[in-house]
Amino acid sequence: DGGITQSPKYLFRKEGQNVTLSCEQNLNHDAMYWYRQDPGQGLRLIYYSQIVNDFQKGDIAEGYSVSREKKESFPLTVTSAQKNPTAFYLCASSWSVTRSNQPQHFGDGTRLSIL
Amino acid sequence: DAKTTQPPSMDCAEGRAANLPCNHSTISGNEYVYWYRQIHSQGPQYIIHGLKNNETNEMASLIITEDRKSSTLILPHATLRDTAVYYCIVYNQGGKLIFGQGTELSVKP
């Protein structure tokens, strides 16, 4: 079945450490996204990518980095510069960033906590 | 992006229809209405979307008023597994889905 796979499901970060969250999709979608969700709050966009080797900052990109070397993969690195990284991270994909009638489909998320 | 207003919570009896309302009075002509739901500790699940006409799929129906200022998501025969937070979103490209507080639907036996 086609879908979006995020791993790991749970991740713990030590102070000063960078960690990378994996997101893989087999839907053949061109666009991919990373969101952050804090308890009781809505989703906030971190980064998005329309095509391979191109990505754009969202509303809260500081302290995060991404790469898009393959169409199906869009890993997110939470760097030590992100001072409040504890959150639920969600990856999504869609056919296009610019077509508003194409839904985004989400993975099941990675929950990141600080040790 | 237009803002949406939803009731914070609703109850529904199992097997009955769940009707979830959403107000989006500032919606623009080219903005779509999307519905997602999120079960605790899972990613949001896409349900349905529409522009002007009513829409139906295997999960739900979406009724959009003629002036497009409000809509209703209908789950025709709610089950316990439909218990979730339901989000109504108005979207017009750009990549960013803006999730509000949503409606917490509790389906009770």
Euclidean distance between CA atoms A97 and A74, whole angstroms: 15
The predicted-structure confidence for A43-98, as pLDDT tens digits, reads as follows 999 999 999 999 999 999 999 999 999 999 999 999 998 989 999 999 999 999 88
Instruction: Nearest by CB to B30, from A98, A100, A105: name it.
Output: A100
For A15, half-sphere exposure in the C-beta direction (CA atoms, 13 angstrom radius) is 0
Q: List A residues 80-99 in contact with B (Cβ-Cβ < 8 A).
A: 88, 90, 92, 97-99
Q: Which residue has the tokens 């079945």?
A: A1
Q: Which residues of A touch B100 (CB under 8 A)?
A: 42
For residue B32, list its beta bridge partners: B91
pLDDT confidence of residue B89? 95
Residues 6+ positions from A101 with CB-CB distance below 8 Å:
B32, B49, B51
Cα B16 from chain centre? 17
Question: In the structure encoding, which two tokens stand for residue B64, read together?
Answer: 């959009």
Q: How far is B71 from chain A (nearest CA, A)?
A: 17
Contact A23, A107 (CB under 8 A): yes
pLDDT over threshold 60, residue B1: no
CA distance A59 to A37: 13
pLDDT attached to residue A98: 87
Query: How far A67 CA lies from chain B's nearest CA (Å)?
Result: 17
Kindly report, residue by residue over A17-31, the tens digit of the pLDDT: 999 999 999 999 999
